[in-house]
Amino acid sequence: MLMQIQKAFFQASDLPAQLIVVSLDRCVVLPGTIIIINLNNSFRQHIDFIQRENNGILGIVNSQNIETIKIGTLAKILAVQLSGQDVILEVKTVGRFQIKEVLTKNPLVVRFKFVQVENEQNNIKALYNTLCERFNKFLQLTGRQFLEGGFESISDRIDSMANALSTDIGWRQEILETIDVKKRLEKILNTLDLEMRKFETQIKIFQNIGKNLKNEQDKKILELLHQDIHKQLGITDDKEDDIAEYQKRLDSIDLPEKAREEAEKELERLSRMSPSSSEAEVVRTYLGLIIDLPWETYTEDGLDIKKARKILQEDHYGLESIKETIIENLAVKVLNPNARGAILCFVGPPGVGKTSMGKSIARALGREFYRISLGGVRDEAEIRGHRRTYIGALPGNIIQGIQRAGTNNPVFMLDEIDKLGSDHRGDPSSALLEALDPEQNNSFSDHYLSVPFDLSKVMFITTANDLYSIPNPLRDRMEVIQLPGYTQEEKVKIAEKHLVPRQIMSKGLADKNIQFSEAAIKNIIASYTAEAGVRELEQKIAKICRKIAVGIIENNSRGFKIHKQDVKKYLGNGQQCEQRLKNILPGVVAGLAWTPMGGELLYIETLVFKDPNPSCELTGQLGDVMQESAMIALNFAQANIGQFNIEDENFFNENKVHIHVPGGAVPKDGPSAGITMLTALISRATGKRVRDDIAMTGEITLRGDVVAVGGVKEKVLAAYREGIKCIILPKNNKQDIDDIPSEIKKKMQFKFFHNMIDAVNFALKD
């Protein structure tokens, strides 16, 4: 993102004691201009220092003959843009400096002296006016553009004229080292007169020859003559070589008609610009993008279904629904190579393998893989690019990703699509619609690229923690695959097959005979992690491996087998406490909640006491929907008090009711706690306890129905982890139990109810 640093200003007090210097190839920059500098990733670490310690001031010199250069150009950073592995600086050149001593060479740091320029010299006014008059004629003659205004001194203005006049490195360095304004004026005026005579002679020659042109062959002869005249006049420079190189590269690649027209137009513009101008740098960057994009470059899909299935099984344990979906898409591709694949959306808690599955899919298909994270993206330009009229403009992340992937059919992962935002800069989710819609993405429009690009061959995969945070238009375009989390048995298998070997290898312990017992892994899972995925589990295994590495270095020991009792020695005391309460009191009931991190137990606590003003109080940061569920539960209990065998018919009318959900720092919302709240109220009124191994979930209505809820698999897995033996569910959620692993279904009891009263009476049964 472009960060405006500050307005360009320059005072002697701004100068640092030492100067970090940037060396540029084939270019000498004079004071009084604004330029764009592209630097590689190695310079990124110095940017913060320059801004913080050097007031944004840096030096610029030419890389040729760097050992002999004594005068360089001071510049102040206006803006910084971090683009992948590159750093793009927008700087304003503000003066000259003299190199006194080279302190380090990488980076180039020098002790320097600021060069003061005497501008107010009475004997230069006439010479300056003559230069201005002839320079304006030169601009008219050549058709070049020159920005007027913004110059604080005659020295700055004539330096800007020199910037526009010639690209010869030696001459520009000579102008830079000429401190005296009058001498500099004379040198610039002499060069200006010479350049004008060259162009006037050139124009006369072509006017005379052009009269006799009759056919294409004559025009070709004129073109060759044009090149020869340039050589004879001594005005051949690197600019023409660059133009020829760009033309050669454009001719060597297959481009769509519109892309070629735009590239040729920009190349023509570049031929009329000064190579050192900021606008020329923008055009060169754009042409580089046009040339680098894989318009017709693609990788052949690996259509061996057996091999693809083997790769998916090797890389991931479980996740069968995703694997089958990939195999199905691959089978369709075999039968119909032109078929458009589905856009997959992996939804699940962190650490379940959504991102790594994308890499495995790319490996199974033999495609390139590219990933971008959309978390926190609020600017539409991040997706669709900036228009090239803006300083520091860049293409959007999608076009940049295609460029870096090097093929037009990569597996392209849009990570954390549920965390897209929007503000005054636009709505990124709307910009994504065009990219993800199979009916539109064959002509995706990027503002920077400004010509259509075909994304129809790209396999887009998205990931999210919360499906309902994704805007509906985006969700409609994707095939959603839920990844609810892993059971303890699955985590043990994943650790044994993937996590432990990977950490042993990455920590350099491959030849040290390191082993983890199954009991040790189960202990880590139960006592040191609380997650649906395996990310935290891998972190704990990595920590143990690091401690083993220390023991090997210090004690030269070999051969470790980590047993259950050893885990505490490496990880300390277990940090995770069971959520499940034992011997719970009347009025307290275990509910089940869904979060983007997976399922969890959620206890509902009730308190009833005499109060002259009976009312209902709700605490625990409950959202509007959850508050409504509490009111439905209370009113239903009052209206049907006789069916619950409550002796005092005015129990709820004459007492104050307080409903609390622990974890007050965490906002909670949703309708699925309705049956739990009703059961807690009736438990408090009757004095009957609910068994501590029972948990429940379900929305309730005033009709007395228990309505289906979502996230059943995640909730069941959470209950299983906490030792819950029986779960009460809405009858309409019965089909969701098919998704529960068979080993869990064998160890748990599921009770399904459509009627609220039946559900409560079962929970309170002795």
pLDDT tens digits along 593-621: 887 677 888 899 999 988 888 889 999 88
For the stretch 271-309, pLDDT in tens is 877 676 677 788 888 888 898 899 988 888 877 888 888
Catalytic residue among 155, 360, 672, 683: 672
Flag whether 221 is in a domain. Answer: no
Q: Is the peptide bond before 107 cis (omega within 30 degrees of 0)?
A: yes
Q: How confident is the model at residue 208 (pLDDT cuts 50, 70, 90)?
A: low
Is there a single domain that holds both residue 667 and residue 635?
Answer: yes
- What is the average per-residue pLDDT within 677-689? 92
Distances 59 to 86, 113, 512 between C-alpha atoms, Å:
19, 12, 52
Is there a single domain that holds both residue 199 and residue 170?
Answer: yes
Q: Is 629 a residue whose pLDDT tops 90?
A: yes
If one compares 162 and 759, the residue with the highest pLDDT of the two is 759
Of the candidate ranges 66-80, 187-201, 230-244, 437-451, the one whose mean pLDDT is the lowest: 230-244
**CA–CA distance, 111 with 664 (Å, rounded to integer):** 59
**CA–CA distance, 68 with 64 (Å, rounded to integer):** 9
The pLDDT of residue 143: 64
Q: Is 642 a residue whose pLDDT tops 80?
A: yes
- What is the average per-residue pLDDT within 716-729? 89
Q: How confident is the model at residue 227 (pLDDT cuts 50, 70, 90)?
A: low
Flag whether 300 is in a domain. Answer: no
Is there a single domain that holds both residue 757 and residue 668?
Answer: yes
Strand partners, 20: 109
CA angle 503, 505, 508 (to 5 degrees): 105
Q: Is 213 a residue whose pLDDT tops 60?
A: no
- What is the average per-residue pLDDT within 715-743? 88
- What is the average per-residue pLDDT within 585-591? 91
- What is the average per-residue pLDDT within 191-217? 68
For the domain that residue 85 is a member of, what is the CATH number? Answer: 2.30.130.40
- What is the average per-residue pLDDT within 435-458? 87
Of the candidate ranges 224-228, 370-374, 749-753, the one whose mean pLDDT is the lowest: 224-228
Flag whether 217 is in a domain. Answer: no
Q: Which residues of 115-124 are buried (b: 16+ CB within 10 A; e: fewer)?
A: bebeeeeeeb
The pLDDT of residue 749: 93
Give percent of the chain with pLDDT exceeding 70: 87
**CA–CA distance, 719 with 590 (Å, rounded to integer):** 10
What phi and psi, each to the nearest 5 degrees, are found at residue 132? -60, -45
Flag whether 449 is in a domain. Answer: yes
The pLDDT of residue 317: 84
DSSP label at residue 158? H
Is there a single domain that holds both residue 111 and residue 126?
Answer: no
Q: Residue 51 in contact with residue 91, Cβ under 8 Å? A: no
The pLDDT of residue 234: 47
If one compares 537 and 559, the residue with the highest pLDDT of the two is 537
DSSP label at residue 31? S
CA angle 619, 621, 622 (to 5 degrees): 85
Q: Is 5 a residue whose pLDDT tops 50?
A: no
Helices 154-165 & 169-177 angle (0-180, nearest 10): 170
The pLDDT of residue 542: 92
Side by side, the strands of the sheet bearing 655-660 are 616-619, 655-660, 598-610, 588-595, 694-696, 726-730, 749-753
Enumerate the known binding-site residues for ATP: 348-355
Is there a single domain that holds both residue 531 and residue 638?
Answer: no
The residue among 209, 228, 252 that closes a domain is 209
Sole residue written with tokens 């099984």: 313
Sole residue written with tokens 């965490």: 666
Using CB atoms within 10 A of its CB, is residue 588 exposed (0-12), middle (13-18) or buried (19+)?
buried
On average, the pLDDT of the chain sits at: 83
- What is the average per-residue pLDDT within 348-362? 86
- What is the average per-residue pLDDT within 46-58? 84
Q: Residue 541 in contact with residue 503, Cβ under 8 Å? A: yes
The pLDDT of residue 122: 65
**CA–CA distance, 315 with 497 (Å, rounded to integer):** 9
If one compares 276 and 5, the residue with the highest pLDDT of the two is 276
Give percent of the chain with pLDDT exceeding 90: 18
* Structural domain count of the chain: 6
**CA–CA distance, 59 with 74 (Å, rounded to integer):** 5
Q: Is 232 a residue whose pLDDT tops 80?
A: no
Our answer to whether residue 715 is catalytic in this structure is yes
For the domain that residue 516 is a member of, what is the CATH number? Answer: 1.10.8.60
Q: Is 231 a residue whose pLDDT tops 80?
A: no
List, in sequence order, the alpha helices (H) in 166-277: 169-177, 181-210, 216-233, 238-251, 257-271
Is there a single domain that holds both residue 320 and residue 452?
Answer: yes
Look at residues 499, 487, 525, 542 and name the one whose alpha carbon lies nearest to residue 319.
487
CA atoms within 13 A on the CB side of 179: 11
DSSP label at residue 763? H
For the stretch 93-151, pLDDT in tens is 888 999 888 888 888 888 888 888 776 566 788 888 888 888 888 877 776 666 555 56
Strand partners, 39: 87
Flag whether 248 is in a domain. Answer: yes
Q: Residue 309 in contact with residue 329, Cβ under 8 Å? A: no
If one compares 471 and 754, the residue with the highest pLDDT of the two is 754
Is there a single domain that holds both residue 615 and residue 647?
Answer: yes
Instruction: Indicate the helix (H) or strand (E) that contains 382.
Output: helix 381-384
Enumerate the known binding-site residues: 348-355
Domain assignment of residue 413, given as a range: 305-482
Q: SS3 for 636?
A: helix
Catalytic residue among 76, 491, 540, 715: 715
**CA–CA distance, 180 with 238 (Å, rounded to integer):** 29
End-to-end CA distance of the chain: 63
Flag whether 274 is in a domain. Answer: yes
For the domain that residue 604 is a member of, what is the CATH number? Answer: 3.30.230.10
Distances 734 to 348, 522, 727, 758 between C-alpha atoms, Å:
21, 30, 12, 16
The pLDDT of residue 144: 66
Flag whether 223 is in a domain. Answer: no
The pLDDT of residue 369: 92
Strand partners, 444: 453
Our answer to whether residue 656 is catalytic in this structure is no
Q: How confident is the model at residue 583 (pLDDT cuts 50, 70, 90)?
A: low
Is there a single domain that holds both residue 706 and residue 625?
Answer: yes
Q: Is 753 a residue whose pLDDT tops 90?
A: yes
Flag whether 218 is in a domain. Answer: no
Q: How confident is the model at residue 212 (pLDDT cuts 50, 70, 90)?
A: low
Q: Is 217 a residue whose pLDDT tops 70?
A: no
If one compares 77 and 280, the residue with the highest pLDDT of the two is 77
Is there a single domain that holds both residue 390 and residue 262?
Answer: no
Strands 694-696 and 726-730: parallel
Q: How confident is the model at residue 412 (pLDDT cuts 50, 70, 90)?
A: very high
The pLDDT of residue 758: 92
